[in-house]
Amino acid sequence: MDEAEYSFLGTAIDSEKEFSDGPDNLARYVFRILYDMEDIDEAVQMILEIVGKQFDVSRAYVFESSEDGECCSNTYEWCNNGIVPVKEKLQNLAYSQFGDYQNLFKDNSVFYCRDIRTLTREQTEIFEAQGISSTLQCAFWNENNLSGFLGFDECTGVRLWTKDEVNALSLISQILATFLQKKKILERNEKIEQELQFVREAGFPVRCDDNDCHIAAEKSIVDCIHCLTSSGYLEDSIEYVLEIIREYYQSDRVYIMEIEEERGIARNTYEICAKGVEPQITFLQNIPIEAAVFWLKGFETRDYIRIENIENLGEDRSLEYEILKEQGIQSLLAVPLYVKGMIKGFLGIDDAKRYKNNIRYLRELSYFLENEIAKNALKSKLEQMSYQDSMTGLENRNSYTQYCGDFLEDRPVPAGVIFMDINGLKIMNDKKGHMYGDILIGYIANKMKQFFPEGRKFRLSGDEFLIVTERIEYSKFRTMLSAMEKSLSEDGRCIVSVGTSWSDVQEDLPELVNKAERLMAINKHDYYRENKNIAAEKVPLLRELLGSIVKKEFLVYLQPKLHVKTGQIDSAEVLVRYREKDGSIVSPFKFVPLLESEGLISYIDFFVMEEACRLLTKWKNTSLSDMKLALNFSRITLFDDHFFENFCKIFGKYDLKPDQLELEITETQETLNKKQMAYLLKQLKNYGFCIALDDFGVEYSSYEFLMMASFDILKIDKGIIQKYQKSDKGDILVKHIIQMSHAIGIQCCAEGVETEEQFEFMKKAGCDYIQGYLIDKPAAAGQFEAKYIK
């Protein structure tokens, strides 16, 4: 693999934000590297560096056991800055000098030692010689034998690992183990092929009978390995291998049974039958695990089962006899399949006609099969993890994004949406601990599953949940919702804020979700406003938010607006985001309602204004010198008696032209004092500031509000933009809004434009500005400057 092919990997190593989505994302990335790169050694070395830097450990490494399992060697190693490599000194180490080392991994295949001084004297001395203070190791298994481990050492002091971190590293170790096993399989395959080639070239006679079938077996194994390691389709490759095995033994049937201990059953997952033999896979799906107890005990003692004649089974094996007799089986060979050192199934042969005594052949093939099955099981698990929330089992945001596309194609009618946000989760985490918060999240998820079993259920972020129902009547939707809200209430107070939307005509899902989310935000505000008794509990959070303003943890984002006539970006809307300590970005819906309820939102509003003025000043001698920036203010800030005075005071600190600032005003149900608003807008207009009427065309917007002040720009709501093409009336309405605005001297800006079709329509309709993801997404100030300063 040349440099161009994996340059993206090198970038990831140095990126601190590459895996901000969490450990699950890191595990998927590790699998991708191993799956895509041809050189396994290079891939493993790269993974150790990526994982080592991600978790900031002193050393990351791999140990692999010798073929006899007596020794181990350090085969891969990565060291952090200032850590001395020890790989060369750790070769051919006898496990016996460590005591019962395999037993250290009895706890879910993980050995975690916070302080190595708590180990035996022999073990402590070995770790201390390497400068290790604490260690975490995850085992590799070959059947039920330790075949190596992935390790992480801390040399600077004790290291505490969280449960999520340990689970992530354990999963990564499983991924590494399967690919390292594949490497060994390929090396062994090459060796066998060389031996067979030598035999053929030497002209030795080959006899194949029950006592001398080595060459035939080796040839068959080579064919199986080649199939398993070269095919991209697991189902086809396994069935092909089973056919090779059936042909070798001349048996009636070859199959794989897998055990599901949590369900207490065994089931037939793969099967190949000789011509004329009736398949049994359909009938062997929920076999009681009790029927396999004798086999499982047999596997533990001699690692295979041979039944030469079922008529010789004793009375204590009557259940086993009945199952085999019903399938017409007279004799059987079986070997176990292992996962992480535990028996999870077996490979079986019914009524073999030749080579009945060659168990070794079957055992070797079982080893190759279980490795490929494990590898593909990991791949499936990682794919599932990318669409499922690991804590709750609900679908996640990735799944929601995919579902939006399916929803767009299907357009189910009617459709209902429920958007929920936990009230005060951060406060509860701070007060009662994160475990309490995790339990609460799980409780809410279970209620969602209970009351909406047929709906699509998502956990979109830490405390945000979404339910989407399809094709159920409104009365049933409301009944289910009321029942769920009641179950989520304590002392008459719901532990979540809820917003809903409903449509019995075809609509886009994001539009329905956006409406439900906005209603949830209103209810969230009402919750804080109506429950003053919890104000004392909010003090720490409010103090933290105010401190964040001082430390500038609130970030200014900019979304550009395109001037249609000139084709230039000459204005942008200023938005605010909050950056959590872990680097994640939080939308205004998360913090604005609380700040509004406590009358503190003006601190954020004026902070954003000041940042906008600083940016405009900074851009004076650049290509953005004539840029205009649009500001949004909370209605609470706008109705403050000293708003205009404070606004002008901040603006007066900078040498800017008033028309470089644009205020976006939205008419809402709460905008009750229209006279006061009209007076304020007149003051701002007289000073020279630009005024924009935002979200025109939906909910509470009216022509009365449009005419009460001298607006410069009218922003057509994205709901109108996205609906225009659905009917001739919508087409006419949009054109009428633009024509009317121009007639009274107001320019128009289309919000939420996402497609070329929408852009072309708005352009032909005479719209002056276009804003939306088609033009560009909101970006941090630094990113905006890098892109638009020329």
Does residue 522 carry a pLDDT above 70? no
Closest C-alpha to 571, from 617, 631, 638: 631
Closest C-alpha to 609, from 658, 650, 668: 650
Inter-residue contact 253 to 344 (CB < 8 Å):
no
Distance CA 518, CA 37 (A): 46
Residue 572 buriedness (CB in 10 A; 0-12 / 13-18 / 19+): buried
Beta strands in 69-173 (DSSP E): 71-79, 93-94, 110-113, 134-142, 145-154
Helix (H, G, I), strand (E, B) or coil at 201: helix
Report the range of poorest mean pLDDT among 38-52, 279-293, 396-410, 425-439.
Answer: 425-439
Inter-residue contact 502 to 470 (CB < 8 Å):
no
Please state, rounded to an integer, the average pLDDT across all residues of the chain. 81
**Main-chain dihedrals φ then ψ at residue 16, nearest 5 degrees:** -80, -15
Does residue 7 carry a pLDDT above 60? no
Does residue 512 carry a pLDDT above 50? yes
Residues facing 628 on adjacent strands: 571
pLDDT digits (tens, 9 = 90+) for 328-353: 888 989 988 887 677 888 899 999 99
User: May I ask the CATH architecture of the domain 3-179?
Assistant: 2-Layer Sandwich (3.30)
Beta strands in 164-303 (DSSP E): 253-260, 265-273, 287-288
Report the range of poorest mean pLDDT among 294-303, 573-582, 685-694.
Answer: 294-303
CA angle 305, 310, 316 (to 5 degrees): 80
Predicted confidence at residue 561, as pLDDT, reads 96
Sign of CA dihedral 718, 724, 727, 730: positive
Amino acid at site 362: L
Predicted confidence at residue 11, as pLDDT, reads 36
- Provide CB contacts within 8 A for 503, sequence distance 6+: 413, 414, 415, 512
Of the ranges 572-576, 602-606, 716-720, 729-733, the best mean pLDDT one: 572-576
Does residue 434 carry a pLDDT above 70? yes
Distance CA 117, CA 178 (A): 33
Domain boundaries, the chain: 3-179, 184-383, 397-530, 535-788
State yes or no: cis peptide before 336, omega within 30 of 0: no
CATH code 1.10.10.10 for 397-530: no
Distance CA 89, CA 61 (A): 13
One CATH from 3.20.20.450, 3.40.50.720, 3.30.365.10, 3.40.50.261 for 535-788? 3.20.20.450
| Stronger pLDDT, 537 or 148, i.e. the higher one | 148
Does residue 557 carry a pLDDT above 90? yes
Inter-residue contact 592 to 605 (CB < 8 Å):
no
Distance CA 33, CA 168 (A): 16
Q: What pLDDT band is residue 373 in, cutting at 50, 70 and 90?
A: confident
pLDDT digits (tens, 9 = 90+) for 29-55: 787 787 778 788 998 999 999 999 888
Does residue 231 carry a pLDDT above 90? no
| Stronger pLDDT, 602 or 675, i.e. the higher one | 602
Inter-residue contact 608 to 631 (CB < 8 Å):
yes
Report the range of poorest mean pLDDT among 289-298, 402-411, 748-757.
Answer: 289-298
Distance CA 364, CA 304 (A): 12
Distance CA 107, CA 163 (A): 13
| Stronger pLDDT, 33 or 763, i.e. the higher one | 763
| Stronger pLDDT, 188 or 15, i.e. the higher one | 188
Q: Radius of gyration (Cα) for the chain, nearest Å? A: 34
Predicted confidence at residue 549, as pLDDT, reads 66
Inter-residue contact 96 to 119 (CB < 8 Å):
no
- Provide CB contacts within 8 A for 729, sequence distance 6+: none
Distance CA 692, CA 706 (A): 10
- Provide CB contacts within 8 A for 145, sequence distance 6+: 65, 69, 102, 341
Query: Could you tell me the fold of the domain covering 184-383?
Result: Beta-Lactamase (3.30.450)
Distance CA 689, CA 707 (A): 18
pLDDT digits (tens, 9 = 90+) for 103-134: 888 777 899 888 888 888 888 888 888 889 99
Query: Would 3-179 and 184-383 be classified into the same CATH topology?
Result: yes
